[in-house]
């Protein structure tokens, strides 16, 4: 049974400059997207990022599965 308060893992990516790729900076666990944004910002705000995204781990599409 899937409850609305189930926690999800989010992969967090960020970048310093628009001409560089997003870099993986870590993960956060949150019950929803809104709190994931807050947790990611508060956890990884020690750098002057210009962009940060949080992607639900369940939404990641593997091209090559790890062994």
Q: What would the pLDDT profile of 28-62 be if each residue is shown by its tens digit?
A: 999 999 999 999 999 999 889 999 999 999 999 99
Q: Is the pLDDT of residue 5 over 90?
A: no
Domain-located, residue 65? no
| Length of the chain in terms of residues written | 67
Domain count of the chain? Answer: 1
Instruction: Write the pLDDT tens digit of every residue in 19-31.
Output: 999 999 999 999 9
**pTM of the full predicted structure?**
0.83
**Segment 13-23 mean pLDDT:** 95
Query: What range does the domain containing 45 cover?
Result: 8-58
Domain-located, residue 41? yes
Domain-located, residue 3? no
Return the closest-CA partner of residue 10 out of 21, 20, 25.
25
Query: Cα Rg for the chain, rounded, in angstroms?
Result: 13
Domain-located, residue 13? yes
């Amino acid at each position: 049974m899937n409850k609305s308060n189930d926690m999800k893992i989010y992969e967090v990516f960020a970048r310093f400059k628009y001409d560089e790729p997003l870099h993986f900076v870590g993960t956060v666990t949150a019950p929803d997207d809104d709190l994931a944004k807050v947790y990611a910002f508060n956890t990884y705000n020690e750098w002057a990022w210009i962009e940060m995204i949080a992607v639900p781990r369940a939404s990641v599409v593997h091209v090559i599965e790890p062994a």
